[in-house]
Amino acid sequence: MAKKSGFVMALQAERERRDADVRHHARVFQMDMVTLALGRMGWRESRFRELDKVLAEVSEEFCNEVLEDAKTDKDIWYTKSTLDRELKQYVGKMFVPYDERYA
């Protein structure tokens, strides 16, 4: 296999940086929309502080679960089912399975 040139490697690195920027922007924008929606529902600073704390806890829990699950199952079926089970209990009939949400 031919060695990649410095130019090609630089282009690839730039594309990866731009992709990371796009992902970051999308996450921040989505959280802004959630914040605005909750604000319009009456949420204020104290509830947002609690959301920030619980969101960090949930994110850490599921990120750790993904890492652990992926060690033995590249499709992370256990994590997907755990996530779906908890989501379904909160949203009821509005629930959409993992593979459809992430399609």
Please write the tens of the pLDDT for every residue from 7-37: 888 999 999 999 999 999 999 999 999 999 9
Identify the band that residue 5 occupies on the pLDDT scale cut at 50, 70 and 90: confident
Residue with structure tokens 């993904």? 66
Q: Cα 56 to chain center, whole Å?
A: 12
What is the pTM assigned to this prediction?
A: 0.76
DSSP character string of 29-95: HHHHHHHHHHHHTT--HHHHHHHHHHHHHHHHHHHHHHHHHHTT-TT-HHHHHHHHHHHHHHHGGG-
Average of per-residue pLDDT across 71-99:
97
Single out the residue of 90, 86, 38 nearest to residue 62, CA to CA: 86
Please write the tens of the pLDDT for every residue from 47-69: 999 999 999 999 999 999 999 99
Domain extent listing, the chain: 1-43, 45-103
